[in-house]
């Protein structure tokens, strides 16, 4: 009798794992939200391809989402202007910012895990001349993301959520 129960439990265990392999879920909630909001995943961060260009083309603002488990205090990114051909392929990439000058976070002082913030990147003088000649893209290396040294403490009501900050 004991071996029959043991065989039943083992069979149920394998069926449960097989059902997960045969019928995979639709992905994590973060992946669904990133797809819904049209963010481009770069690993530790994601950015929205929708940007805001200043009227005089002196700066550009991207929405950046923190995918890491730590708060981000500074990001050094590369902003490229490119042209899209009739076939949809991008070409003629031109660096239009100084990558040694970090982005400036608007409205808040740190980007909490899972949070979304607008980052402003200054563009060079040469970028202002060709402001009507293409689209813009952002490149961020994992080595150019700097995290806060100290994380804020938890509130008495429990850990804070990114949307409550």
Q: How far, in Å, CA of 66 to CA of 47, rounded?
A: 9
User: Are 46 and 67 contacting, i.e. CB atoms less than 8 angstroms apart?
Assistant: yes
Domains of the chain: 39-148 (2.60.40)
Tell whether pTM > 0.75: no
pLDDT reported for residue 75: 93
Give 114-148 pLDDT, tens digit per residue.
999 999 999 988 766 666 678 899 999 999 999 98
pLDDT reported for residue 131: 63
Q: How large a percentage of the chain has pLDDT more than 70?
A: 67
pLDDT reported for residue 27: 52
Give 64-99 pLDDT, tens digit per residue.
999 999 999 999 999 999 888 888 888 888 899 988
Helix residue spans in 23-134 (DSSP H): 29-36, 125-129
Q: How far, in Å, CA of 43 to CA of 54, rounded?
A: 27
pLDDT reported for residue 34: 45
Residue 2 reports pLDDT greater than 70: no
26-32: average pLDDT = 53
């Amino acid at each position: 009798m004991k071996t029959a129960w043991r065989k039943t439990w083992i069979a149920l265990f394998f069926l449960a794992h097989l059902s997960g392999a045969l019928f995979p879920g639709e992905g994590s909630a973060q992946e669904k939200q990133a797809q819904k909001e049209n963010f481009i995943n770069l690993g530790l961060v994601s950015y929205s391809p929708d940007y805001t260009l200043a009227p005089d083309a002196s700066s550009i603002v991207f929405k950046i989402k923190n995918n890491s488990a730590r708060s981000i205090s500074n990001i050094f990114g590369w902003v490229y202007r490119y042209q899209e051909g009739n076939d949809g392929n991008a070409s003629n990439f031109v660096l239009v910012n100084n990558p040694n000058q970090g982005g400036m976070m608007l409205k808040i002082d740190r980007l909490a895990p899972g949070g979304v913030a607008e980052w402003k990147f200054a563009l060079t003088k040469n970028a202002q001349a060709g402001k009507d000649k293409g689209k813009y893209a952002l490149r961020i290396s994992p080595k150019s993301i700097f995290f806060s040294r100290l994380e804020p403490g938890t509130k008495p009501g429990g850990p804070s959520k990114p949307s409550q900050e």
